[in-house]
Amino acid sequence: MTWLYTILFSGLIFSAGPDVGSMPVPAAPRIEVSSSQGDITERLDKSYPLSAEGRVSISNTNGRIELEAWDKEEAALVVEKTGPSKEILDTVKVIVDSDKERFRLRTEQQDWYRGNNADGKRQVQVVIKMKLPRRAVLDEIENVNGEISISGFSNSVSASSVNGGVTISGLKGRLEASTVNGPISAEYGQLDPQTRVELSSVNGPVKVTIPTDSDVTLKGETLNGGIKTDFALSVRKADFVGHSLYSRLGSGAASMSLESVNGPLYIGHPNDGRSPAPSTDLSSENGGDDNVSGLKGRRINARLIAAEAEKAAAEAKSRSAKAMKDALKTAQVETARTMVLTAPLVERSVKEALDAARERLKAADIGKAAAVEARRALRMSSKTWDFGSGFGNERVFGADTSIGRQTKSFPVSGTPKVTINAPGCSVRIVGTDESVVRYTVTKIRSANDDISNEIKEKADSRSVEINVSGDTEEKWRTRLEVFVPHKTNLKVVTDGELRIDGVSGKLDLKGEDESITLRGSGGNLTVASSTGRIRVIGFRGEVNAETELGTVDLDGEFDALTARSDLGDILITLPSNFSGKIDSGGEGAVRFDGLSATRVEDNEDRFVYRIGSGDRSYVVQTDGNLMIRSSDTLLNSN
């Protein structure tokens, strides 16, 4: 379940908009002396024009963010900076970049104050309060140390916090919310059929309240905590740890996913006198698998994987004593290497490891089965997440660290080629209407580090190359954000999370264990990962996607399509009028949803299905689950 790593990255690094046209908020704030501890407060009250569906991004380090919807095409901003002295207040800048279609705000720590008294140890608190158009798109609302409160909006919302809760109320649109340390609470007065909700917490409860008569598909999973619901839904307890839920209310048109590592889940409804829609338990549709979401997500100890590999090898004894011996030896050697890395969390459940190994055993390929499972445990356990030293302590947020940023722009012409090599970084690339390539690197670093030593670039009017060296052990420390023309040829290599929005051209993307996500893009796409999820939304053109153990989720209109995964699930979403062939291979089941398919070739190793009469042919191969669905099913019942 790569969602966990996404949470860790998304909350810690702050959105850095283009510096062209950016400036500190131009105002002479009123200074007030507070009555507590002799603190002083600077207050700014200012309004900006913003269209009804303008886009908003806010990034704060210390202090609350409060956003409220209203029916004006205007962004009303109130900022309150509080600290022990004017000198310390001046170390924190509030930077606004705004026009009619977009509003961006970020707080920036210019330098950490080092005094000889207690004042130097107290950080500046910045409280951000805004009233925004009701239909505004809240792109990225990010906080490090502080709560986020959002109310009354009817469009898309994305919010994340590291140390602090996220509270959403009166929402009607799409929602993605995550936090590392803190609760999440979301309240919907109405769920439209196209509504999609994803709520994720590492340490904290997740609560959602929806109308009693909602038509929604619900998925919930928690590792250390229970699941409570006001609806008649079936909650399943996993074999080892955790609980899960996968159910449909009514037609299941909307979708909602709740996940927590250490904390309970709660799904409730108001006392509105309405009758709940009929509920359907969908867990059985997955054959009783603990992993009801279809993603490889349960975290367990590497010792348990070793034990299950031994069981799998023993079951093959009747088939081949020699094969069993080789498999057991391979599993023991690989797992011993895993144990040395002292990582308690890996991304496969005991049941999944056993099932995958058993499938390989059927083909008498025991050695490969054990090696694949153990190598995956080794890869995932090498991610040693040290929560004690990585979140909220003095090593990260104290007086010896700072936030460094570097920004550069390069004018380009035509369709430029942009090459990005960014080990140890999370990367976001956004298409714009400008003939400019602009990058911003943001890093949480030691105060003495020089961020410029880690960045190298070369550029001319037709090509730009950017090389950034981040921290391969703590990728959340470094974020690279690149703005390119909509028509750009991209080549990107990173082992961190990769997100691309609105870029079309020849796209060559390579990742490892973190997710790769593309939205609103097109052209010719080649994308590969080791275990990271590949997700493509609204793509037009040719796609070649390949992963060893990750899942693949492709949506769009494809001129050509090849998708391969060794063990991961594959989901393909096609237009309702698609006509052509699907050539599938592997041992996984094939399922069609909303599309009428007829099998046209019949042999043991090859399954070819025809939809309509077209001559277009797609190749999709996996030993996991495979679903081909119509885009109409996203708005209709499941």
Which of 174, 168, 186, 294 has its CA nearest to residue 589?
Answer: 294
Tell whether 145 and 280 lie within a shared domain.
no
pLDDT of 138 reads 94
pLDDT bucket at 467, cuts 50 / 70 / 90: very high
Q: Residue for token digits 């960014």?
A: 422
Let me know whether 420 and 365 are in one domain.
Answer: no
Which residues are paired to 430 by β-bridges? 483, 501
Cα–Cα distance between 218 and 279 in angstroms, integer? 10
Share of the chain above pLDDT 70, in %: 67
- Residue at 6 is within a domain: no
Query: Is residue 372 assigned to a domain?
Result: yes
In 3-state terms the chain splits into helix, strand, coil percentages (rounded to 5) of 15, 50, 35
Distance of CA 298 to the CA centre of its chain: 17
Same domain? 411 vs 530: yes
Least confident of 277-286, 301-310, 428-437, 451-460: 301-310
- pLDDT-derived band at 33, boundaries 50, 70, 90: very low
Q: State yes or no: pLDDT of 366 exceeds 60.
A: no
Q: Is residue 507 part of a domain?
A: yes
Structural domain including 199 reads 193-298
User: Where does residue 554 rank: exposed (0-12), middle (13-18), buried (19+ CB within 10 A)?
Assistant: buried
In a domain, 12, yes or no: no
Examine the fold and report which residue of 140, 162, 182 is the final residue of a domain before the chain moves on.
182
CA nearest neighbour of 278 among 255, 247, 257: 247
The more confident residue out of 96 and 355 is 96
Any domain includes 7: no
Domain termination residue (choose one: 127, 157, 182):
182
Same structural domain, 480 and 607: yes
DSSP 574-620: E-TT--EEEEEESSS-EEEESS--EEEEEETTEEEEEETT--EEEEE
Mean pLDDT along residues 383-397: 31
**339 and 285 within one domain:** no
**Among 149, 182, 215, residue at a domain's last position:** 182
Stretch 222-250: mean pLDDT: 84
User: Is the domain of 247 the same as that of 338?
Assistant: no
Strand 74-83 to 40-49 pairing: antiparallel
Same domain assignment for residues 131 and 227:
no
Q: How many CA atoms lie within 13 A of 391 on its CB side?
A: 23
For residue 398, which of 50, 61, 8 has the smallest C-alpha distance? 61
Q: Give the C-alpha separation, 211 to 195, whole Å.
A: 13
> What is the rounded (10 degree) CA torsion for 53, 55, 59, 64?
0
In a domain, 14, yes or no: no
Domain count for the chain, please give it: 4
Structure tokens at 635: 């708005």
CB proximity list for 53: less than 8 A, separation 6 or greater: 133, 135, 136, 137, 155
Q: Does one domain contain both 135 and 56? A: yes
In contact, 165 and 148? CB cutoff 8 Å: yes
- pLDDT(240) > 90: no
Same domain? 432 vs 539: yes
- CA angle (61 as vertex; 484, 492 as ends), nearest 5: 25
My answer on whether 329 and 415 are in the same domain is no
- Mark whether 174 and 258 lie in a shared domain: no
Mean pLDDT, the chain, rounded, equals: 75
* H or E element that contains 503: none
Specify if 90 maps to a domain: yes
Contact 558, 571 (CB under 8 A): no
- Quick one: tokens of 167? 């509270």
- Please give the radius of gyration of the chain, using alpha carbons only, rounded to the nearest integer: 25
Q: Is residue 85 part of a domain?
A: yes
Domain CATH number, residue 613: 2.160.20
Same domain, 85 and 171: yes
